[in-house]
Structure 1
Amino acid sequence: MNEHTASFALQVREDQCIGCGMCADACAYGAIRMAEYPEIDPYKCRLCGSCVQACPSEALALNEPETQTQISGGTSKGIWVLAETEADGTLSAVTKELLGKAAVLAEKLHQDVEALLIGSESDAAVSSLAAYGAQRIHLAGHPSLASFIEENYARAAVQVIRECRPDILLVGATPRGRGLSARIAALLQTGLTADCTELDIDAETGLLQQIRPAFGGNLMATIATPAHRPQMASVRPGVMKAREADPALKGECIRHDLSDFKCDGRIRLLDEVLETAGGDSLGNSRIVVGVGRGVKKKETVERICQWAKRLGAAVAGSRAAVEVGLIDAHLQVGQTGQTIAPDLYIAIGISGQIQHTAGIAGAKRIIAINPDKTAPIFNVADYGWAVPVEEALPQLMAVQV
Structure 2
Amino acid sequence: MSEAPILQPSTLAIHGNRVREKQSNSILFPIHQTATYVHETVGVTKGYGYSRGGNPTVNALEQAIAALEGTATALCFRSGMGAISTLCLALLKAGDHVILSEVVYGGTIRLFRQVLENFAIEYSFVDTADLDAVRQAIRPNSKLLFVETPANPTMKLADVAALAEIAHAKGLLLAVDNTFLTPLLQDVLKLGADISMLSTTKYIDGHNATIGGSLATHDETLTERLRLVRKTLGTIQAPFDAWLTLQGLKTLPARLELHCRHAAAVAAWLEADSRVHCVNYPGLDSFAQKAIAERQQSGFGGMLSFELDASVEESLRFIDALKLCTCAESLGSVETLVTNPATASHCDLSSEERAKLGVSDRLIRLSVGLEAPQDLIADFEQAFAAVFGADGGAR
The verdict on a shared fold, with TM-score over 0.5 as the criterion, is no
Higher helix share: 2
Bigger proportion of residues as strand: 1
Does 1 or 2 have the higher relative contact order (CA < 8 Å, sep 6+)?
2
Q: TM-score range by the shorter chain?
A: 0.3 to 0.5
Find the structure with the greater CA-based Rg.
1
